[in-house]
A and B are shown apart, each in its own frame.
Chain A
Amino acid sequence: MAEILVLVDHVDGEVKKVTLELLTLANRLGEASAVWVGAGYDGAKDKLAEYGAQKVYVGADEELASYVVAPKAALLAQLVQEKSPAAVLVAATGEGKEVAGRLAVKIGSGVLTDVVDVADGFVAEHSIFGGGTIAHAKVTTGTPVIAVRPNAVAAEAAPATPAEEQVTVALSDTDKGTKIVEKVVQEKGERPDLTEAAIVVSGGRGVGNAENFKIIEGLADSLGAAVGASRAATDAGWYPHQFQVGQTGKTVSPQLYIAVGISGAIQHRAGMQTSKTIIAINKDSEAPIFELVDFGVVGDLFQVAPQLTEEITKRK
């Protein structure tokens, strides 16, 4: 089986769920080889083995993680040269897409980003124009470089005993062009990451103010969900910008999306339309969000949402 490189997405050694999804996908298409960059590998190796990494290339030199994007692309380009993999998979996050872009230029390959599935022959599926069109595309030149959207593929445990190979890459001055001088991790408490969460509860204009977002958080916590917000809510300063779901924010594709007090403007829909199950609470029965829902309640969110939180808590 052909080897497929999977760039591991991690924060200080904590492997992101999307990496496990990519390993599962890679093993469906060939043999998954994880590519580790930076510190913390020892704490992560069991996780990579559990989800089927057949091999791990360990680039443990901390310098690789000290500069923006370029060193990761340099390491992957070197591995593509040496190992001739069938494809390279990365997470379609802001950074993952950038690694994919630089790598594609380095190795002269086509790149596909924001992919929701990959079939045999590396035919990639895209959900475009805010979910309105499904397109299939392939790379026609070079080793396919494919950035896959988090939550698009279900991760399956498939324990393996990966071979480990230490790898080094000599960084050029260009690779060291943008230095990371400080990493600022913003407190997200116990909630899952927005782009990775199985359930997302989002609040919009109808929530009315920052204080009322406690209602959204309470509902989210009852379900173990992430909290999102519409652009109206983040622009108003009611909730931090990094939680914005939509065209100019994050794209989410959870199993369950609950839109509370969100009308469903196209800007918002573009970021959540591919959620598997959608629920909305809105007092306006004409709100466009209701065109998307599996279940909708026309009513006052200040009555409905707390009651829902209470019901969920009661039924646990």
Chain B
Amino acid sequence: MNIVVLVKQVPDTESPRKLKSEDSTLDRAAADGVINELDEYAIEEGLRIKEAQGGEVTVVTLGPGKATESIRKALAMGADKAVHVLDDALAGSDALQTSYAIAQVLGRTGFDLVILGSESTDARTGVLAAMLAERLGVPQVSLANKVEIEGSSIKAQRITDYGFDRVEATLPAVVSVVEKINEPRYPSFKGIMAAKKKPVETLGVADAGIDAGQVGLANAATAVVDFAEAPPRAQGQIVSDEGDGGTKIADFLASKKFV
């Protein structure tokens, strides 16, 4: 089975995240980069499917040079090879363009399954799996917390606001996963050493079949108008419980007309 896992390098939530004043794009230099958390679950699911069904796991990422850190992690966990589309032309692409660019790469790699995290911790748009399924004309098996594959059929549980749906589709398909789906493995020392020998193909947009005129900030279908730091919250009142902490909260709630 040809399994492609999409991986994104994102700014660490623990470090200062901001936009750049000159073009309102993410300031990648301001924060430490890490692999998008949900993508680790996507890698784990890809590896489990490979272990059960045979085949190969290819990691695909679009992003700057620092994204190699995420690729290395995925390879150390057990992915077989990677494709890194590294080109300044991609900078500032929005979701619509990103989905176009990734669809082009997938056309090149081929796939039985594309697996990705249901959203990234930076942009949090949550649209990529749906956009890819639409562009590729394949089933959308998204927001999955359980996936089973039997031959060319896929059954999954899709989380919803009211609980979950049991869904069915046939391969090839795009699968997005939520955190509940599995417990990602830690790379072993052996895995980390082996990762150094695994092939990583680095492509420019033209090599990847991406039209530079359809990606990048200048061609984006959305634009940031302005941004500012959120005003700090007014200093709240903090009291120690002297046996009347609950009563004091109730008084506060009453003053705000909540009770």
Contact = CB atoms under 8 A, between A and B. Distances in A.
Interface of A: 11, 16, 68-70, 73, 93-95, 97-102, 104-106, 108-114, 123, 127-142, 174, 177-186, 193, 195, 199, 223, 241-242, 247-249, 255-256, 266-267, 270, 277-279, 281, 285, 290-300, 303-312, 315-316
Contacts of B134: 70, 73, 101-102, 105-106
Nearest to B233: A292
B62 to A, nearest CB: 17
B246 to A, nearest CB: 3
Contacts of B221: 104, 108-111, 139-142
Interface string B215-259: 000001111111111100110111111011111111011101011
Contacts, number: 286
Tell me which of A127, A178, A179 has the highest count of chain B C-beta atoms within 10 A of its own C-beta: A178
Smallest CB-CB A-B distances: 7 pairs:
A299-B241, A307-B246, A101-B127, A110-B221, A177-B139, A186-B163, A308-B246
Nearest to A269: B13
Contacts of A180: 158, 165-167
B231 to A, nearest CB: 8
B238 A98 contact: no
A178 B245 contact: no
Given A73-B134, A114-B124, A132-B230, A299 B259 contact: no
Contact of A101 (B95, B162, B179, B222): B95
A203 to B, nearest CB: 15
B130 A11 contact: no
Contacts of B133: 70, 102, 177
Contacts of B169: 177-179
A130 B13 contact: yes
Given A98-B142, A110-B220, A185-B163, 12 more contacts: A98-B140, A101-B95, A111-B127, A112-B222, A114-B124, A133-B18, A270-B13, A290-B238, A293-B238, A295-B249, A299-B240, A305-B246
Given A101-B131, A105-B134, A111-B95, A70 B121 contact: no
Task: Give the interface residue-count category, chain B.
Answer: 35 or more
A103 to B, nearest CB: 9
Contacts of A97: 125-127, 130
Interface string B151-193: 0000000111111111111000100001110000000000000
B50 to A, nearest CB: 22
A264 B166 CA distance: 34
B95 A140 contact: no
A136 B227 contact: yes
Nearest to A179: B168
B143 interface: yes
B210 interface: no
Contact of A181 (B14, B130, B167, B230): B167
Contacts of A141: 221-222
A110 B222 contact: yes
B91 interface: no
A256 B24 CA distance: 32
A114 B125 contact: yes
Nearest to B14: A266
Contacts of B229: 132-134
Interface of B: 13-14, 17-19, 24, 37-38, 94-96, 99, 118, 121-122, 124-131, 133-135, 137-143, 145, 158-169, 173, 178-180, 220-230, 233-234, 236-241, 243-250, 252-254, 256, 258-259
A113 B96 CA distance: 12
Contacts of B230: 127, 131-134
A73 B130 CA distance: 10
B248 A185 contact: no
A129 B247 contact: no
B167 A178 contact: yes
A90 B131 CA distance: 16
A11 B165 contact: no
Nearest to A176: B139
A133 B227 contact: yes
Contacts of A267: 13
B130 A137 contact: no
A97 B176 CA distance: 13
Contacts of B220: 110, 140
B13 A193 contact: no
Contact of B139 (A108, A178, A195, A281): A178
A281 B212 CA distance: 53
A311 B258 contact: no
A236 to B, nearest CB: 14
A294 to B, nearest CB: 5
A95 B96 CA distance: 17
Contact of A140 (B164, B180, B222, B233): B222
Contacts of A100: 127
Contacts of A311: 246-247, 249-250
Contacts of A305: 246
A28 B244 CA distance: 45
B222 A304 contact: no
B245 A304 contact: yes
Tell me which of A101, A135, A310 has the highest count of chain B C-beta atoms within 10 A of its own C-beta: A101
